[in-house]
Structure 1
Amino acid sequence: MLAGIELGGTKVQVLRARGTTVCDRETIATTTPRETLSRVVAVLERWHAQAPIAAIGIGSFGPIRLDRRAPDFGVMLPTPKPGWAGADIFGTLTAPFDCPAMIDTDVNGAALAELRWGAGARGEAPSDSLCYITIGTGVGGGFAFNGHTVHGAMHPEIGHIRVPRAPGDGFAGCCPFHGDCIEGLVSGPALARRFGMPGHEIDPADPRWDDVASDIAHLVATILLGTSARQVLIGGGVGMGRADLLEQVRRKVVALLGGYLPHVDQAGVGRIVTTPLLGDQAGPLGALALAMDALAGESVS
């Protein structure tokens, strides 16, 4: 039995599975660290008493310390989520269990699941590299290359990249750290502030969507040029909720690259810039992928 935990900013999904076959799933609201993590541990302890858990995988919102050599490994770093900075995610969730465990960001986990079982695995030539972007309450990005997630000094934080602004777009952004980074421009809260209403109420014909598409396209072009990822998957409530927006982004990506990447043309961009094949299950399955790697003895860093 494997346990997977997808710790999100609004809810936690806790899974028990044999391989990728999910046997049980429980959803817990994300409140305070003490309340939330203790409820997750209670679920795991109940399952562990029924059948021993062989490994645990944790995909968490961030930023979070992933360097096992660091004294604050598995601890939440400064975050806009009130009360969560300094929370010991890995230690709290794994201390009661004598089994291997692995932690990564939720978007890195989702990227890994898509690489192994989703968009990266379909077609005649499976992908060896992809980026998974989620656009929702925030903007996060994970990378899976050659079967592994990507880390360095930290984990990728593409949500806080600044992009060139569309001419005439005077929206100041809403990121508390950087103002008009990509998260401050296109996340759900940013759209609500930019348009003056929640995203699902915005008229698809509103011309300001063109500025949003431009911002996202600049991010995608930066990723394609900077990492050589074969695919960029755009998920999350905003990312998967507007097919017409995705088409705008694709056209703008091709125009921005100007033919410099010959494989990114109008004929092929639909296969390169696309939605996650696993949909909203990429994150939970990513946590299970991390549990599998923990069982196989792989390191997080």
Structure 2
Amino acid sequence: MSAVYGAIEAGGTKFVCAVAESPGPDLVTKQIIPTTTPDQTLAKAVEFFRGRSLRGLGIACFGPLDLERGRIGATPKTGWVGGDVVRAFREALGVPIRFDTDVNGAALGEARHGAGKCMDPLIYVTVGTGIGTGVLVSGRPVHGMMHPEAGHLFVKRRADDAFHGSCPFHADCLEGMASGPAIEARWGSPGSALPADHPAWELEAHYLAQAMCDLIYVVSPQRIVLGGGVMNHQGLLGLIRQETRALLAGYVQTLADPMMLDEQIVPAALGDDAGIVGALELAFEAAQASSLTGPPPV
């Protein structure tokens, strides 16, 4: 059996497990495992990889994360706070592992195989069940005290918006006002059921454009890639660009030309595969690091 790289995109609703012979979008096989309890989900994921000759394993996981300990932090996902993700795979498989956020994983995927090639800094923003942001500088994910959590940026409420917000921590932060659950809570229907001319989309663009401006001002990225289920709505990207341009008000001269802003804020090229492709990049890095430092402790 030839050696392969293992990848997991660990999400709040499903774990996508895959193997590939090399980094990139060409997968040998893939399996989707529903996210239930930590014990059940991690055991099923381990079984997917057991018996395969793994060079390394990359895990791009929902968060927030304790990257040093390989655990999940203060997530609203029931039962997963403190989930010891890395330990479960290290003890069962004994292979080199690299662990990062799902959005940092997606950012790596888009940077190396998608819409972010040759763009530095690069930001990936997913808008779905939550709102997450992966930031790459010099091709590497930004870590510090923790990983970026721009989904919890505070936004300026539109004057006619009385919605309380859906974030269990901050109520009306970006995620609380513009995530998929926020759309459903505010309008009584999921975004996928709302028509193109529904007022939800102008309001969504109002909040997401504030985040675009904040990220442009703070990180000065060469490109922002937008993904996630909410971004599948046709027309939303154009509304976000339009609102961002209005909010920037000509301050960033480079983006004053509408065509330049269209190149600055773009859709994900890898679609739903950005996270798993990024996890394969993490697996490759884990294997490379192990070849230099020796195998990890079991």
Q: CA deviation at 1:144?
A: 1.5
Give the TM-score, by structure 2 length.
0.92
Q: CA deviation at 1:164?
A: 1.1
Residue 25 to residue 208, structure 1, CA distance change in 2 (3 Å): closer
Report the Cα distance in structure 1 between the residues aligned to 2:71 and 2:259, rounded to whole angstroms. Answer: 44
**Structure 2 regions of 5+ residues with no counterpart?**
294-298
Q: CA deviation at 1:146?
A: 1.3
The 8 Å contact of residues 196 and 234 in structure 2, kept in 1 or not, is answered as: no
- Are positions 1:282 and 2:274 aligned together? yes
Deviations 1:141-182 (A, max 9, x none): 111221111111111111111111222222111111100011
Residue aligning to 1:114: 110
- Are positions 1:186 and 2:187 aligned together? no
Report the Cα distance in structure 1 between the residues aligned to 2:176 and 2:221, rounded to whole angstroms. Answer: 24
Q: CA deviation at 1:228?
A: 0.8
Deviations 1:186-218 (A, max 9, x none): 111100111111211112212242221110000
Of 91-100 and 128-137, more deviation after overlay is shown by 91-100
Residue aligning to 1:253: 244
- Are positions 1:242 and 2:233 aligned together? yes
Within 5 Å, which residues of 2 pair with 1:1-301? 1-19=4-22, 20=24, 21-46=26-51, 48=52, 52-67=53-68, 73-121=69-117, 126-239=118-231, 241-265=232-256, 266-297=258-289
Deviations 1:30-82 (A, max 9, x none): 10000000000111113x2xxx2111100000011113xxxxx1111111100
% of aligned pairs identical? Answer: 39
Match for 1:176: what amino acid? P
Deviations 1:232-284 (A, max 9, x none): 11111101x12311111101111111122122131211111111111111000
Match for 1:32: what amino acid? T
**Structure 1 regions of 5+ residues with no counterpart?**
68-72
The 8 Å contact of residues 120 and 129 in structure 1, kept in 2 or not, is answered as: no
Q: How many residues align?
A: 285
Match for 1:34: what amino acid? D
The 8 Å contact of residues 109 and 290 in structure 1, kept in 2 or not, is answered as: yes
Q: What RMSD, in angstroms, separates the aligned Cα atoms of the two structures?
A: 1.4
Report the Cα distance in structure 1 between the residues aligned to 2:145 and 2:73, rounded to whole angstroms. Answer: 13
Match for 2:248: what amino acid? L
Q: CA deviation at 1:97?
A: 2.5
Report the Cα distance in structure 1 between the residues aligned to 2:200 and 2:270, rounded to whole angstroms. Answer: 30
| Stretches of 4+ aligned residues off by more than 4 angstroms | none
Report the Cα distance in structure 1 between the residues aligned to 2:274 and 2:14, rounded to whole angstroms. Answer: 15
Give the TM-score, by structure 1 length.
0.92
Match for 1:259: what amino acid? G
The 8 Å contact of residues 112 and 143 in structure 1, kept in 2 or not, is answered as: no
Residue 170 to residue 18, structure 1, CA distance change in 2 (3 Å): same
Report the Cα distance in structure 2 between the residues aligned to 1:173 and 1:238, rounded to whole angstroms. Answer: 17
SS for the counterpart of 2:73 is coil
